[in-house]
């Protein structure tokens, strides 16, 4: 389609859908029109992709994730369709600004943070690499809560993202499957002497899939993200007369759990897990059976990926279908299951390792529980005599009345991976060490990556232009080409152009800040950014304490030589995470104090932006000068905002944690500010039990001075919160070593301050960060999953083998 044709089709579609001309239509009507033109166009490729995969009988991967966080789809689909420029110009000629339409689209926020966003980056990359892969998840009626600040406290509001409909999804009623929940199960022999389950009681619910096209980057591939929604089967209507009965069903796919570490043990969450696992696995098997292949070869056609432990019941559900329905022997079914399944671990925080009481699992999915018991029994039997008793007891699935989901995922799969080098090493040496002894070859690393297209081309057109002019446009397809930038590290024109693009982005963000917080910030100041979920281990508190130090220093000496700084936060706290919410309150009150102190002028500003989400990330990241990656070493599995910020030219202040280490290796010591304890030092403290935050506090006047601001009235309106945080640091011995790292952090901050004084030098550091960011492309990450774990190939490769051309 060319621009003229587009304009014509667009006006025609608008007339058909809304009986209107451009002049009368609202942004929403224009958005709906454009969206419908897009979906009807890529639908042909979508259908063709399905057909190609089926006809080529290609091995496909199904990425099971209880969260997906795609954000807005309009512009990324336009980009991937190859339509972005044409549509931007065409609409402009019709007097329409594409960005106004993009504003209308609600963020699709079916995830909490890093894990969900990673799943969506992978969906984009899998399609863009032409790999046969599908997402499988839950279509939550309400996404992650919307965050408001009232009296500087976080308040949560529901995210009714489907209110105006969702034009990207297709409801596929004909692909629905039934999922059984609750009741009891008894095994008995059937006529041919096979054991079969007899179910009594419980409910049968309908899982209806809503498919969203995952448009590959200009390659005519459209993969599928399938999200399941619960319904009452029409034939069961009479059993659900009361509103209450109906609500129990509807609740199942109603809300995303807003907690990103600890499971609060609710039965509903476990039911959600089984619901999307069962629906997904059943629909995969139904598809496979259409191929008319022996069930014994299913491992050559299907791979199932378990994204964190939430879908770990895939192991048992797959066994159930092979053993109960397909009548395979346990041994045959078990070997196939292990070959099909693979698992990614995303955390080392002990409290986030999922466990379910056996009574609860027995009541939600009794047959699954039986199967897990049998897997556990056979595991113990197989290991007995080979490994020592204690090791077996520590690694078995069922322990102390609980089902350990990570154990199920590891035992029932052929691959367990971590998400950054350090994290994968810690899995082997500490967190999952016992399993490493049992299955050394199952463990591997897959460092996370990011969808370069969204986080550079879409989010940062100013930088993209400079890159095109400097190194050509091949980096858009081959992010490793960004290295060509290194040839310009001494080129003043390029350095100035990069600085100019950054300033432009900072001006845009300043406008947004002014509109949303009523605060004027100076775009020439250092924009220092920490954007991630609010968690004690991520140490937003460390950032705050340093800000308070700067504030006190400035109060003492208003002429302190210091580059003006704007500290920008974006973070949601889980609604039940009291401590994290206190940190938000305290940062907000400190911000209020500092921003309105006439002595401080514009040397220091603190901005906490409300409702951090994917769209806000796309505004903040291109404007960042400094990237705060300051988790306690060993606690952040990888981090991915670190990669996004680096790609956009921000300089990282980091501990040696997660993927920060790989960023340091990529850019070199001189282009990153590293500080703090190493993971080894942290573990030494644990071993020797000799950390004392109190002695640090007593020995360091500066630590004392800063920490006291929490309780001495310096920051107004935080009596309870101030004491709570003060106590966490002093009385409860500072679990995340904030005080231990404080002075080193201040030194790192000072080195950043110094470096910024020399603008040319700063631009050079920034350039080197951009130049080395290509290695964190999720295209490469999924390629490694495809080769090492899933054993899948791009559809083109397969077709070429058979001499079929792809158009």
Residues forming the active site: 346, 532-533, 538, 640, 644
Token code pair at residue 457: 């081309």
Strand pairing class (626-629; 651-654): parallel
> Following DSSP, what letter does each residue of 116-170 receive, concatenated?
HHHHHHHHHHHHHTT--EEEEEE--SBEEEEEEEETTEEEEEEE-TTTT--TTEE
| Residues β-bridged to residue 110 | 68
Nearer to ligand F55, 261 or 445 (CB): 261
Nearer to ligand F55, 80 or 448 (CB): 448
Calpha distance 467→478 (Å, rounded): 13
3-state secondary structure (DSSP) of residue 596: coil
Question: Is 572:528 a contact under the CB 8 Å cutoff?
Answer: no
Nearer to ligand F55, 577 or 762 (CB): 577
| Residues β-bridged to residue 171 | 210
Calpha distance 211→39 (Å, rounded): 12
**Tokens 């409860």 identify what position?**
732
Residue 167 DSSP one-character state: T
Nearer to ligand F55, 9 or 445 (CB): 445
Token code pair at residue 680: 């080894």
Question: Is 526:567 a contact under the CB 8 Å cutoff?
Answer: no
**Torsion angle of C-alpha atoms 327, 331, 337, 338, degrees rounded to 10:** 180
Give least dist CB 582 to ligand F55, A.
21
Give least dist CB 637 to ligand F55, A.
4
Nearer to ligand F55, 402 or 592 (CB): 402
3-state secondary structure (DSSP) of residue 176: coil
Give least dist CB 157 to ligand F55, A.
20
Calpha distance 131→135 (Å, rounded): 12
3-state secondary structure (DSSP) of residue 186: strand
Question: Is 642:654 a contact under the CB 8 Å cutoff?
Answer: yes
Question: Is 584:608 a contact under the CB 8 Å cutoff?
Answer: yes
Token code pair at residue 285: 């098997």
| Long-range CB contacts for residues 784-790, cutoff 8 Å, separation at least 24 | 784/446, 785/61, 785/122, 785/305, 785/446, 786/61, 786/129, 786/131, 788/415, 788/444, 788/446, 789/303, 789/305, 789/342, 789/415, 789/417, 789/444, 789/446, 790/59, 790/61, 790/133, 790/303, 790/305, 790/342
Nearer to ligand F55, 419 or 755 (CB): 419
Cβ-proximal residues to 37 (8 Å cutoff; 6+ apart), any chain:
9, 10, 13
Token code pair at residue 781: 């990450």
For residue 763, give Cα distances in angstroms to 667, 754, 767: 14, 13, 6
Burial class (CB in 10 A: 0-12, 13-18, 19+), 149: middle
Calpha distance 230→761 (Å, rounded): 57
Calpha distance 318→81 (Å, rounded): 36
Cβ-proximal residues to 297 (8 Å cutoff; 6+ apart), any chain:
none
Give least dist CB 419 to ligand F55, A.
4
**Tokens 């080409």 identify what position?**
481
Q: Which sign does the torsion angle of CA 110, 232, 177, 334 carry?
A: positive
Task: Provide the binding-site residues for ligand F55, judged by CB under 6 A.
Answer: 112-115, 118, 259-261, 263, 346-347, 352, 419, 448, 636-640, 658
Residue 564 DSSP one-character state: -
3-state SS, one letter per residue, for 347-404 = CCCHHHCCEEEHHHHHHHCHHHHHHHHHHHHHHHHHHECCECHHHHHHHCCEECCEEE
Q: Which residue is nearest to ligand F55 (CB)?
A: 114
- DSSP element (H, E) containing 590: helix 578-595
Give least dist CB 128 to ligand F55, A.
19
175: alpha, beta or left, given left = phi > 0 and alpha = psi -120 to 50?
alpha
Closest CA to 274 of 183, 369, 208: 369
- State in Å, rounded, how far the first CA of the chain is from the last one: 16
Calpha distance 745→750 (Å, rounded): 9
Nearer to ligand F55, 624 or 637 (CB): 637
Cβ-proximal residues to 229 (8 Å cutoff; 6+ apart), any chain:
138, 139, 141, 207, 208, 209, 210, 253
């Amino acid at each position: 389609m060319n621009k003229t044709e587009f304009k014509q089709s667009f006006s025609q579609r608008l007339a058909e859908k809304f009986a209107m001309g451009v002049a009368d239509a609202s942004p929403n009507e224009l958005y709906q029109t454009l969206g419908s033109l897009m979906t009807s166009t890529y639908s042909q490729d979508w259908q063709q992709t399905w057909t190609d995969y089926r006809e080529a009988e290609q091995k496909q991967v199904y990425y099971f994730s209880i969260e997906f966080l795609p954000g807005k789809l309009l512009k990324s689909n336009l980009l991937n369709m190859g339509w972005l420029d044409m549509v931007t110009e065409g609409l402009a000629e019709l007097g329409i600004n594409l960005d106004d339409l993009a504003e209308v689209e609600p963020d699709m926020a079916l995830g909490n943070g890093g894990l969900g966003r990673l799943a969506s980056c992978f969906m984009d990359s899998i399609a863009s690499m032409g790999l046969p892969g599908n997402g499988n998840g839950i279509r939550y009626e309400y996404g992650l809560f919307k965050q408001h600040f009232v009296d500087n406290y976080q308040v949560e509001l529901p995210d009714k993202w489907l209110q105006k409909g969702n034009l990207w999804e297709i409801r596929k009623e004909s692909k629905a499957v039934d999922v059984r929940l609750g009741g009891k199960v008894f095994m008995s022999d059937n006529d041919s002497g096979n054991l079969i389950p007899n179910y009594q009681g419980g409910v049968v619910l309908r899982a209806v899939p809503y498919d969203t096209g995952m448009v590959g980057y200009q390659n005519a591939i459209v993969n599928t993200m399938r999200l399941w929604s619960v319904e009452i089967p029409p034939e069961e209507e009479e059993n659900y007369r009361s509103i209450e009965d109906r609500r129990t069903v509807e609740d199942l796919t109603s809300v995303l759990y807003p907690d990103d570490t600890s499971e609060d043990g609710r039965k509903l969450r476990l039911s959600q897990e089984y619901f999307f696992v069962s629906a997904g696995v059943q629909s995969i098997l139904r598809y496979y059976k259409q191929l008319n292949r022996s069930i014994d070869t299913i491992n050559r056609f299907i791979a199932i990926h378990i994204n964190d432990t939430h879908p770990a019941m895939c192991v048992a559900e797959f066994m159930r279908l092979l053993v109960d329905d397909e009548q395979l022997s346990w041994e045959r079914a078990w070997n196939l299951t292990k070959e099909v399944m693979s698992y990614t671990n995303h955390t080392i925080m002990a409290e986030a390792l999922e466990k379910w009481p056996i009574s609860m699992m027995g009541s939600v999915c009794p047959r699954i529980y039986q199967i897990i018991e049998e897997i556990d029994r056979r595991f113990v039997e197989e290991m007995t005599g080979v490994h020592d008793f204690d090791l077996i007891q520590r690694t078995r699935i069922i322990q102390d009345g609980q089902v350990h989901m990570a154990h199920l995922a590891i035992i029932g799969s052929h691959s367990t991976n971590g998400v950054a080098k350090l994290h994968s090493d810690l899995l082997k040496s500490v967190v999952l060490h016992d399993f490493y002894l049992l299955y050394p070859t199952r463990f591997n690393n897959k460092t996370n990556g990011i969808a370069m297209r969204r986080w550079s081309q879409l989010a940062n057109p100013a930088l993209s232009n400079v890159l095109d002019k400097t190194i050509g446009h091949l980096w858009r397809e081959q992010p490793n080409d960004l290295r060509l930038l290194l040839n310009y590290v001494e080129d003043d024109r390029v350095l100035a152009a990069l600085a100019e693009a950054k300033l432009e982005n900072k001006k845009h963000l300043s406008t947004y800040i002014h509109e949303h917080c009523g605060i004027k910030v100076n775009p020439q100041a250092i924009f220092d950014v920490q954007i991630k979920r609010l968690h004690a281990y991520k140490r937003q508190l460390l950032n705050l304490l340093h800000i308070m130090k700067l504030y006190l220093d400035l109060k003492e000496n208003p002429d302190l030589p210091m580059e003006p700084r704007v500290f920008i936060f974006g973070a949601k706290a889980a609604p039940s995470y009291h401590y994290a919410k206190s940190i938000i309150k305290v940062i907000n009150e400190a911000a209020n104090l500092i921003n309105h102190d006439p002595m401080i002028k514009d040397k220091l500003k603190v901005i906490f932006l409300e409702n951090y989400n994917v769209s806000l990330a796309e505004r903040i990241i291109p404007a960042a000068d400094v990237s705060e990656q300051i988790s306690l070493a060993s606690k952040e599995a990888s981090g991915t905002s670190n990669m996004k910020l680096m790609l956009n030219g921000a300089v990282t202040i980091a501990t040696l944690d997660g993927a920060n280490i790989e960023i340091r290796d990529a850019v070199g010591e001189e282009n990153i500010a590293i500080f703090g304890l190493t993971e080894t030092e942290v573990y030494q403290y644990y071993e020797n039990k000799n950390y004392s935050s109190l002695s640090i506090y007593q020995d360091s006047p500066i630590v004392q001075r800063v920490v006291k601001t929490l309780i001495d009235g310096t920051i107004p309106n935080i009596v309870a919160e101030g004491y709570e945080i003060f106590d966490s640091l002093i009385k409860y011995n500072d679990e995340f070593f904030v005080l231990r790292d404080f002075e080193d952090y201040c030194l790192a901050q000072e080195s950043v301050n110094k470096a910024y004084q020399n603008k040319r030098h700063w631009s050079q550091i920034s350039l080197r960060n951009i130049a080395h960011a290509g290695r964190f492309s999720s295209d490469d990450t999924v390629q490694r999953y495809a080769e090492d774990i899933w054993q899948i190939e791009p559809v083109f490769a397969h077709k070429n083998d058979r001499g079929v051309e792809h158009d």
